[in-house]
């Protein structure tokens, strides 16, 4: 079995999966801190209400991609 599919799954899961919450990716934490400093605080749940469904959509699209190209 070629491990290319496993590497792609790991890469996509780690990259896209972290976008669901503020603490899931370091860039999210940095932007949240800068936003709060400038007077526009982003709450954990406020971010999650928007980002988590979008993260699920991107994970589903990635799963379909993996199934089409590696199955």
pLDDT computed for residue 1 by the predictor? 66
pLDDT computed for residue 71 by the predictor? 84
pLDDT computed for residue 37 by the predictor? 96
pLDDT computed for residue 17 by the predictor? 87
Question: Torsion over CA of 31, 33, 34 and 38, rounded to 10 degrees?
Answer: 130
pLDDT computed for residue 61 by the predictor? 95
Q: What is the DSSP string of 3-67?
A: SHHHHHHHHHHHHHHGGGSGGGSHHHHHHHHHHHHTT----HHHHHHHHHHHHHHHHHHHHHHHH
pLDDT computed for residue 23 by the predictor? 92
**Mean pLDDT by groups of 10 residues along the chain of 71 residues:** 88 89 91 96 94 95 93 84
Distance CA 21, CA 46 (A): 10
Instruction: Indicate the domain borders of the chain.
Output: 4-70
């Amino acid at each position: 079995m070629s491990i290319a599919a496993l590497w792609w799954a790991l890469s996509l899961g780690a990259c896209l999966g972290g976008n669901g919450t503020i603490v899931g990716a370091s860039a999210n934490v940095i932007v949240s801190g800068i936003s709060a400093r400038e007077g526009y605080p982003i709450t954990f749940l406020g971010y999650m209400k928007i980002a988590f469904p979008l993260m699920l959509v991107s994970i589903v699209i990635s799963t379909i991609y993996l199934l089409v190209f590696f199955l």
